[in-house]
C-alpha cells in the first residue's frame, strides 16, 4: 500500500515479493500456527460474551471472571479452552474476518459482514479485479475487497478524512498482519475526495463501491473510470439517499437500470424441541444499489413501462430520468 497521500504511485499490478518474513498466505488475513504476540485473539465465555484483544507478553486480561495471562495463550494452537483465575472458562480462537471488523477500533461506521458478503457477491468482485472504493472509513469493507481480489487484483481506497484513513490503515494492516512499514501488496490508500481524485488520475476500474453520505456527487467520476460492463455498487443508510442515487444513475443514461435491495439476517435458536427464530435481530443496516456501465455512447433500452402514478409528480424534485416512453411528459405532471 502507498501512504495516504494524494501523490502516491499507481496500485501494484503484481504481488509484492519484497515483504520480509510474511508468507504469501498471510495476505488472506488467515494466520496459522501457534498464537503470536501482536495477534488478536477472541475469547468467548460460557454465556457467549466475547472479548477481543491483542496478545502482549507479560500482560493480563481481566473480566468479571477473574484474569488470565497473555503468556498462557501465546505459543498455543488456537481452538482451546482456558480457565480464568475466578473459575470462568474461555474458548480461544483467532477472530474471523466477520468477527474482526465488528470489534476493531472504529473511526466511521463500518459495513457489516452481512452486507460485505452481499457486496462481494452482487458487485461480482473477483480475483484480479481492479476495485475502487470510497470512503475507506474504518477499513472494514476494504478487508473483504482485498480478500476477494487476491494478490493479483487491486483495491484503491479513497478517503477524504485523514483521521479515518489512519484508523483504516491500522485496521487493515492488523488484519492482514502487515510487517512494520509494509502493507497488503494489492492496496493503495489515497487521501482525497473521490469525485475530484478519480478524474485527475484517470485510472480504469472494473468495480466501484461507494459507501458515503452523498454518492450521487460521484456518479460522473465513476462513469468516466468504469470499464464497459463494470459494476458500480452503492451502500446507503437512508431511503432519501437511496432515491437520489438511483435517480442520478438513471438520469446519467450510461448505466443499466439500477437494482436496489437490502438484506435481513435472522439468527435461529436450535435446541432439542425448542427451534425458533432468535429474539434479537439487526433490523436495518443499509440499502445496496448496483448498476452496470454501458459501453461509450450506448444507452440502456427505453423503458416500456410507465412510472408509477405520482412517481415524478409536482412534489418530486430530484433528478428525472430521460428515457420515458414516447409521449410521456414528466415535468410538472402527476403521472
Ligand atoms: C460510512 S464510512 C465508510 C465505512 C467503510 N466502508 C467501512 O466499511 O469501514 C464513510 C466514509 O466516507 C468518507 N467520504 C465521504 N464522502 C467521500 C468522498 N467523496 N470521497 C472520499 N471519501 C468520502 C467519509 O469521510 C467516511 O469516512
- pLDDT tens digits for range 201-227: 989 999 999 999 999 999 999 999 999
Give residue-wise pLDDT tens across range 64-110: 889 999 999 999 999 999 999 998 899 999 999 999 999 999 989 99
Q: Which atom of ligand 1 is nearest to the CA of 116?
A: 8
293-306 pLDDT, tens per residue? 999 999 998 877 78
Predicted structure pTM score? 0.89
Using CA atoms, how far residue 115 sits from 84, 103, 160, 295, in Å, is 36, 16, 23, 28
Q: Nearest C-alpha to atom 10 of ligand 1 is from which residue?
A: 212
Q: Is 257 annotated as a binding residue?
A: no
What whole-number distance in Å separates Cα of residue 243 and Cα of residue 246? 5
Task: Give the per-residue pLDDT at 224.
Answer: 96
Work out the average pLDDT over 184-189: 94
Confirm if 15 and 187 have CB atoms less than 8 A apart.
Answer: no
Q: Is 273 annotated as ligand-binding?
A: no
* Residue with CA at minimum distance from ligand 1 atom 18: 193
What is the CATH class of 100-292?
alpha beta
Domain boundaries along the sequence of the chain: 40-93, 100-292
Using pLDDT thresholds of 50, 70 and 90, give the confidence band for residue 323. Answer: low
Q: Is the model more confident about 307 or about 160? A: 160
The tens digit of pLDDT for each residue in 20-79 reads 454 556 588 888 899 999 999 999 999 999 999 999 999 999 988 899 999 999 999 999
The protein residue with its alpha carbon nearest to ligand 1, atom 4, reads 137
What is the overall mean pLDDT for the chain?
A: 88
- CA 137 to ligand 1 centroid distance, Å: 5
Q: Which atom of ligand 1 is nearest to the CA of 106?
A: 9
Can you read off the three cell numbers belonging to residue 59? Answer: 500482560
| Ligand 1 centre distance from Cα of residue 143 (Å) | 15
Q: 55 a known binding residue?
A: no
Read off the C-alpha cell for 8. Answer: 502516491
Two domains, one topology: 40-93 and 100-292: no
Q: Could you tell me the pLDDT band of residue 12, with boundaries at 50, 70 and 90?
A: very low
- Dist. CA 189–CA 205, nearest whole Å: 15
Q: What is the CATH number of domain 40-93?
A: 3.10.330.20
Amino acid at each position: 500500500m502507498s501512504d495516504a497521500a494524494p501523490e502516491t504511485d499507481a496500485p501494484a499490478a503484481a504481488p509484492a515479493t519484497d515483504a520480509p518474513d510474511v508468507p504469501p498466505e498471510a495476505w488472506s488475513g488467515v494466520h496459522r500456527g501457534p498464537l503470536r504476540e501482536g495477534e488478536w485473539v477472541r475469547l468467548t465465555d460460557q454465556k457467549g460474551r466475547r472479548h477481543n484483544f491483542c496478545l502482549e507478553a507479560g500482560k493480563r486480561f481481566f473480566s468479571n471472571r477473574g484474569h488470565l495471562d497473555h503468556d498462557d495463550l501465546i505459543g498455543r494452537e488456537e481452538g482451546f479452552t482456558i480457565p480464568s483465575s475466578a473459575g470462568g472458562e474461555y474458548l480461544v480462537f483467532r477472530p474471523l474476518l466477520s468477527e474482526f471488523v465488528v470489534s476493531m477500533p472504529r473511526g466511521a461506521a463500518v459495513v457489516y459482514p452481512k452486507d460485505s458478503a452481499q457486496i462481494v457477491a452482487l458487485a461480482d468482485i473477483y480475483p484480479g479485479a481492479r476495485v475502487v472504493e470510497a470512503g475507506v472509513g474504518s477499513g472494514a469493507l476494504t478487508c473483504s475487497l482485498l480478500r476477494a481480489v487476491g494478490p493479483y487484483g487491486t483495491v484503491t481506497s479513497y478517503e477524504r478524512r485523514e483521521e479515518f484513513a489512519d484508523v483504516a490503515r491500522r485496521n487493515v494492516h492488523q488484519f492482514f498482519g502487515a510487517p512494520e512499514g509494509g502493507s497488503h501488496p494489492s492496496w493503495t490508500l489515497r487521501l482525497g475526495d473521490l469525485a475530484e481524485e478519480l478524474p485527475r488520475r484517470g485510472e480504469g476500474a472494473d468495480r466501484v463501491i461507494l459507501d458515503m453520505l452523498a454518492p450521487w456527487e460521484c456518479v460522473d467520476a465513476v462513469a468516466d473510470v468504469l470499464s464497459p460492463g463494470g459494476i458500480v455498487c452503492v451502500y446507503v443508510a437512508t431511503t432519501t439517499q437511496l432515491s437520489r442515487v438511483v435517480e442520478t444513475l438513471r438520469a446519467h443514461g450510461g448505466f443499466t437500470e439500477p437494482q436496489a435491495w437490502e438484506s435481513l439476517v435472522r439468527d435461529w435458536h436450535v435446541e432439542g424441541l425448542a427451534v425458533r427464530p432468535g429474539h434479537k435481530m439487526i433490523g436495518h443496516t443499509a440499502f445496496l444499489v448496483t448498476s452496470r456501465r454501458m459501453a461509450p455512447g450506448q444507452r440502456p433500452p427505453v423503458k416500456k413501462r410507465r412510472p408509477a402514478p405520482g412517481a415524478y409528480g409536482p412534489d418530486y424534485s430530484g433528478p428525472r430520468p430521460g428515457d420515458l416512453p414516447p409521449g410521456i411528459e414528466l415535468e410538472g405532471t402527476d403521472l
